Amino acid sequence: MGLKEELEQKRQQIRTDSYSMSVGELISLYKDGEIEIHPQFQRFFRWSTTQKTRFIESLLIGLPIPQIFVAQREDGVWDVVDGLQRLSTIYQFVGILRDETGRKKTPLILEPGEILPSLKGKQWEDDYDPENSLTQAERLLIKRAKLDVAILVNVSDPNAQYELFKRLNTGGSIATDQEIRNCLLIMANSDAYDYIKDLSTNENFQDCISLSDKASSEQYDLELILRFLLFRNIQEDALNEIPYPDISDYLTYCIRQDLLKGPDDYQREREAFATTFDLLARSLGDRSFRKYYPAQDKFKGGFLVSAFEAIALGIGYNYKQLCTQPLDLETKVKQLWSNPSFTDALGGSSKGSISTRKRLQTILPVGREHFKG
């Protein structure tokens, strides 16, 4: 495919309209439920009170504000893609911002501004001390300030949405593929995100994966849960038809689909997840997904996703059988590291690299067979 064809294809995926809107209009949209800022995003983007004060100061003195990007949903509601902190700061200052439970957050109290030091202690409206309130004229300066809003329409392809979110938020604190997936999942299906987040609190799971502080801070545990939900019970013909050489791209594609179909699916996967990591925690704990060296009879190193794909998904596939016909899991895991069908699929400098898709397509059936009861 040449540049011309690539341009035509991608430009069809992304179309934008643009409006100049007053802060007052954006406040009305939020009050009426016509713009969604997704309070869960606060986990990924955080401004300090100093940053918030600086933004309010910019509105007051008339400095230009960077464009806000929203994605228009099928129901017409706008999802904020870039501009969360700017809008959240406005809504918190006015006193209408709500948290994940629907409760109003404590209104913002400003710090001294760099240009307007008298902003210290100011609120939109302080019922107890009018001296701390902005005047009517000052409030109107903010409400009449203009922000350019770009509306993204016809962005149905999940990977296009992923790329947009990543490119538009490069100046923010968001860093990893999974953090971006989390944001897209919240926008597409917040219940599924909450379910995955709840699974991540399982102590046995956290003990077994034993991630580094950096990997934990980057939400890698949620990516592992997503892998467990998508691949634990996938049919092998579907596994072999995955169109993306990089499994990371497939995960991004899948988060916009129905991960689980209904309450029965949610309960079954929770049971499989809890049982898998209970069995592993009792047998191996934080050694579960480290490399095993038979000559020294030791597990060494850090977490290996290839071991997770074979061991967690293999046990998860057979979990019911393993409850009635228990195995010596420690011995079984050690034997896996001497299984050439597993070790050859890991690649390495002497064997050449393989795609993450090919690795999973090879390892998953091996793990399922190896951990049969």
Residue 163 in any domain: the answer is: no
pLDDT at 352: 45
Q: What's the total number of domains in the chain?
A: 2
| Domain shared by 115 and 13, yes or no | yes
pLDDT confidence bin for 194, thresholds 50/70/90: confident
- The secondary element (H helix, E strand) that includes residue 153 is strand 146-153
Both 140 and 186 in one domain: the answer is no
CA-nearest of 58, 76, 87, 84 to 153 is 76
Q: Which of 156, 188, 216 is the last residue of a domain?
A: 156
In a domain, 167, yes or no: no
Q: Judge if 233 and 333 occupy the same domain.
A: yes
- Residues 99, 187 share a domain: no
Residue 254 three-state SS = helix
Same domain for 105 and 210? Answer: no
Residues 322 and 365 occupy one common structural domain? yes
Query: Does residue 168 lie in a domain region?
Result: no
Tell me the C-alpha distance between 260 and 254, whole Å. 11
pLDDT single digits (tens) 326-361 = 889 999 999 999 999 898 888 654 444 568 899 999
Q: Which of 19-28, 38-47, 229-238 has the lowest mean pLDDT?
A: 38-47
Q: Is residue 246 part of a domain?
A: yes
Whether 255 and 365 share a structural domain: yes
Mark whether 219 and 303 lie in a shared domain: yes
How many helices (H) and strands (E) the chain has is answered by: 19, 7
Q: Is residue 8 part of a domain?
A: yes
Average pLDDT over residues 6-16: 61
Q: Do both 136 and 211 map to the same domain?
A: no
How do residues 39-50 score in pLDDT, each as one tens digit? Answer: 666 555 578 899
Lowest-confidence range among 7-11, 88-92, 129-133, 207-211?
7-11
Same domain, 226 and 94: no
What pLDDT is stored for residue 113 in this prediction?
93
**137 lies in the same domain as 270:** no
Residue 51 has pLDDT above 80, yes or no: yes
- Lowest-pLDDT range, 18-32, 126-140, 161-175, 302-316? 161-175
Domain extent for 11: 3-156
Among 148, 357, 350, 336, CA closest to 251: 357
A 10 A CB-CB count for 172 gives 16
* 151 vs 307: which has the higher pLDDT: 307
**Mean pLDDT along residues 88-104:** 90
Residues 190, 318, single domain; the answer is: yes
Tell whether 217 is covered by a domain: yes
Contacts of 57 (CB under 8 A, 6+ apart): 113, 114, 115, 116, 119
